[in-house]
Structure 1
Amino acid sequence: MEPVYITAESTVRPKEIEVGVTTVYLRRNIVETQHTDPMDEGREPTPVFIYEEAQLTKDEALLVLAEGQETHTKELEDADGINIDHEYRLTLLELGLSETDI
């Protein structure tokens, strides 16, 4: 399941994950900008946070977060495999061997 994100803004920095009574809010790409109202001459600009937000039920959020965990686990396993292969090749080089010598 892919959550549907909409653009939102707030004057308070939002949490990336916020759990309400029945709704879970997932937020990403949080960027702080400055907002200046033309009617407020001479006043300091107001910080505004613009971000993407998805609103999910708790069950939907658990499903999305579990799918994300599976993806990260697979990526870590791939990286581990690459690191092991890299270490193996470095060891062969240090020993002055090649794969054909083994």
Structure 2
Amino acid sequence: MVESNLALDKIFGALADVTRRDILERISTAEHTISELAQFYAMSLAAIAKHVSVLEKAGLITKRRSGKEKVIQIQPKNIKVAAAYLGEYEKIWNARFDTLEKLLEDK
């Protein structure tokens, strides 16, 4: 359970940053190198590499070497872990809303 919580902490910590979410969105449709990604942002190549490192440590992406460049691709496994976690809360809230709706209909 603790290991699961640590994994979720890393995932949601990585997703807390708008730049990292944007990087995930960009690589969800096509692989990119770090230098290709850097073209989209007003920050240094080192800053982009740091964002990529956070995403990699959270298990949201993988990197592979292609010549001198590192190619980044999305890793859907941990995205599914986060979605499943949030899905449990969705079920709880949907049940609560259904109960509330029934109460309001009965009045």
Q: Please report the TM-score for the alignment, with normalisation by the length of structure 2.
A: 0.37
Higher alpha-carbon Rg? 1
Flag the structure with higher helix content: 2
Q: Please report the TM-score for the alignment, with normalisation by the length of structure 1.
A: 0.38
